[in-house]
Amino acid sequence: MNELFGWRVPVDEWATNIFNWLDRNLAPLWDFIREVLGGAYEGLGNLLNTLPPIAVILVLGVLGLLVRGWLFGLGATAGLLLIDLMEQWENTMLTLSMVLVACAVAALFAVPIGIAAARSQTVSSVVRPVLDFMQTMPALLYVLLAVLIFSVGVVPGIVATIIFAMPPGIRLTELGIRQVDPEVVEAGHAFGSSPAKILRQVQLPLALPTIMAGINQIIMLALAMVVLAGMVGGPGLGQVVLAALNRLNIGLGIEAGLSVVILAIYLDRFTGALGSRSRVARLEKAA
C-alpha cells in the first residue's frame, strides 16, 4: 500500500493476466515457433555432431583462412582443436547450433524492421522505445517468460536469445540506410527508379558494412545469452557452466568458459571479415 494514495497500481496482476491470455489464446503460434526453432536446432546440432570433429575443425579453419588470411585460419584451427581436446566439442557444437538458429531468426526480423524504420519516421519512432525496452529489460526475465510459454528445454533459450540479440541489428540497419548519401538516393529517383529498386541497388549495398556490423553484434549478444539458456534446460556449454557452478567445480567452469570465448572470437572475426570484404567497405577504408 502506498502511504500517500492508499492504493497500489496492480501492474503485476495486469501483466499476469495479459501473459495468461497470450499463453492460452495464441497456442497455435507457440506450437509453430516450438516446432520451427526446435526442429532447426535439432537438425543443425545433429549434423555438427555426427560429422567427425576434425573435419568440422578443418572446414572452419579453411573458411577462416579464406576470409581473413592464414594467421586467422591457423589460430582458429588451434583454438577449435583445443575445445575438442578439452572434450567440450559436443557441447560447443550444441551451443553453436543454438546461436546460429537464434541469429538467423533475429537477423531475419532485424534487417526488414531496420529498413522499415529507415524509410518511415513513424515506424522509427514506434520501434525505438520498443528496442530500448528490449535492451534494458533484465535478460533473465525473457528466459522466465519463454519458459512459462514453451516449458523447459532448448526452445525458451533460443527465443530469449532472439529477443535479447535483435535490437542492435535493427538499430544498425536503420542507421546504415539513413547514412546513405541523400543525393545518390535522389539521383535514383531522378532517373525514374522505383523505391524498391533504389533500396536494392543503392541503399542496401551502400549500407552493407553497417548492416554487417549489426549482424556481428547480434552474434555476440547471442553468445552471451545462450549460456543463460543453460539455466532453463538448454543444452550445450551453458549447462556445463551451470553444473560447474552447482558443484563449485572451477576447472570445469573454466573449460566451458574458454570454449565460449574461442567460439565468440571465431564468430566475431569471421563475420567482421565478411562485412569488410564488400566493395563499399573497402572503398570506405581507402577513402
Contact residues for other proteins, defined by CB under 8 A: 181, 183-184, 186-194, 197, 201-202, 205-206, 278-280, 283, 286-287
Q: How far apart are CA 174 and CA 202, in angstroms?
A: 15
Residue with smaller CB distance to other proteins, 206 or 244: 206
Contacts 24+ apart (CB under 8 A), 70-73: 72/269, 72/273
Residue 87 CB, shortest distance to other proteins, in Å, is 47
Sequence-separated (6 or more) residues with CB below 8 Å from residue 250: 244
Q: How far apart are CB 120 and other proteins at their closest, in Å?
A: 16
| Minimum distance from residue 69 beta carbon to other proteins (Å) | 23
- Residue with Cβ nearer other proteins (208 or 227): 208
* Closest approach of other proteins to the CB of residue 188, in Å: 8
Least distance from C-beta 208 to other proteins, angstroms? 9
Query: Residue 197 or 247: which CB sits closer to other proteins?
Result: 197
Shortest distance, position 125 Cβ to other proteins, whole Å: 18
- Which residue lies nearer to other proteins by CB, 42 or 181? 181
Query: Could you tell me which residues come within 8 angstroms of residue 100 by beta carbon, excluding any fewer than 6 positions away?
Result: 44
Distance in Å, CB of 207 to other proteins, minimum: 11
Nearest CB to other proteins, comparing residues 230 and 275: 275
Which CB sits closer to other proteins, 11 or 286? 286
Least Cα distance to 85 among 208, 258, 206, 201 occurs for 258
Q: CA 179: distance to chain centroid? A: 23
Count CA atoms closer than 13 A to 80's CA, side-chain side. Answer: 24
Burial of 247 (0-12, 13-18, 19+ CB in 10 A): exposed
- CB of 86 or CB of 280, closer to other proteins: 280
The answer to whether 230 touches 239, Cβ cutoff 8 Å, is: yes
Q: Which three cell numbers stand for residue 48?
A: 555438427
As measured in angstroms, the least distance from the Cβ of 275 to other proteins is: 14
Of 60, 90, 58, 87, nearest in space to 269 by CA? 60
Checking 268-274 for CB contacts under 8 A at 24+ apart, the result is 268/216, 268/219, 268/220, 269/64, 269/68, 269/72, 270/63, 270/64, 270/67, 270/68, 271/212, 271/215, 271/216, 271/219, 272/212, 272/216, 273/67, 273/68, 273/72, 274/67, 274/212
Closer Cβ to other proteins, 189 or 247, answer by number = 189
